[in-house]
A and B are shown apart, each in its own frame.
Chain A
Amino acid sequence: MINEATKGQTVNVSAQEKIEQVLPEPESNRVRISLDRSLYPLDAVYGASYVFIDRCFVYLDAPGPDRIEVLLQGRDDLEKSGLEVLAGEFANELLSHAWRHEIAEANRPILEAVTAQAMAGALGTPALEDLDDLDEMDFSEETFEDPLGIAMSWEEKYGKLADGEEKTDDAEDEAAGSSSDDGGDGDQEETKAED
Chain B
Amino acid sequence: MRTLRFHHDLYSARAIEEACESFENHAKITVRQELPYFELELTALGSADEAVLAGEFGNFALALTAEEKRGGAAKD
Contacts and interface: CB of A to CB of B under 8 A. Distances in A.
Do the two chains bind? yes
B55 A73 contact: yes
A57 B59 contact: yes
Q: Which of B11, B63, B66 has the largest count of A CB atoms less than 10 A from its CB?
A: B66
Contacts of B10: 42, 60-62, 68
Contacts of B11: 60
A50 B10 CA distance: 13
Chain B at the A interface: mostly helix, strand, loop or mixed? helix
Interface string A18-61: 00000000000000000000000011001101100100011111
Interface residues of A, number: 16
B11 to A, nearest CB: 7
A60 B55 contact: no
Contacts of A60: 7, 10-11, 62
A57 B54 CA distance: 9
B63 A50 contact: yes
A58 B58 contact: yes
Contacts of A61: 5, 7, 10
B62 A53 contact: yes
A47 B7 contact: no
A58 B56 CA distance: 9
7 contacts: A42-B10, A43-B69, A46-B66, A49-B66, A58-B59, A58-B62, A62-B10
Interface of B: 5, 7, 9-11, 36, 52, 55-56, 58-59, 62-63, 65-66, 69-70
Given A58-B62, A59-B58, A61-B5, 9 more contacts: A42-B69, A46-B62, A46-B66, A46-B69, A53-B62, A57-B59, A58-B59, A61-B10, A62-B36
